[in-house]
Amino acid sequence: MEQGLGVESFDCSGLVIRSVCDVLGKKVDEWPIGLRHVRDMWNASNDGDLSGLASADISVGMLAVTGKHLTIDGYRQYVPGHIGVVTSVVDNCIEFIHASAPNKVTEGAVKNTARLIGGISILDADRLFDL
């Protein structure tokens, strides 16, 4: 099994993959390899094979995606960098379960909502396994 997909250690996208698979009764090995990282998931939900799943409106059960700055080919870019499962939205405060570090799964607030890029709906997540 690829690193970061559990049971000993999760990265943020690995925790999301394991969670979605568990809810849908799927095996992690069935998850599309092209959607292994948060950037892949975000891009696919916006304009790829999963177009229409991305949303600026965040609600409980969605996947919250936050961004980070990276220098790519000499240019500073803002890209999807972290993902977790939304557990609460109250007065614009978003709580989510996420893997903040290897071996550290925690529930906490999105510390800077300005970093929030958007959410991905998993209501139609069965589409993932048709890719």
Q: Which residue matches tokens 């069965």?
A: 126
Q: How far, in Å, CA of 96 to CA of 117, rounded?
A: 14
Q: How far, in Å, CA of 11 to CA of 95, rounded?
A: 18
Band (pLDDT 50/70/90 cuts) for residue 17 is very high
How confident is the model over 81-130, as pLDDT tens digits?
999 999 999 887 889 999 887 778 888 888 666 688 888 888 767 777 77
Percent above pLDDT 90 for the chain? 25
Lowest mean pLDDT among 17-21, 73-77, 106-110: 106-110
Backbone φ and ψ for 15, nearest 5 degrees, come out as: -65, -45
Percent above pLDDT 70 for the chain? 89
Average pLDDT over every residue of 28-55: 84
Residue extents of the structural domains in the chain: 12-130
Amino acid, single-letter form, for residue 91: D
Average pLDDT over every residue of 26-51: 86
Average pLDDT over every residue of 21-49: 87
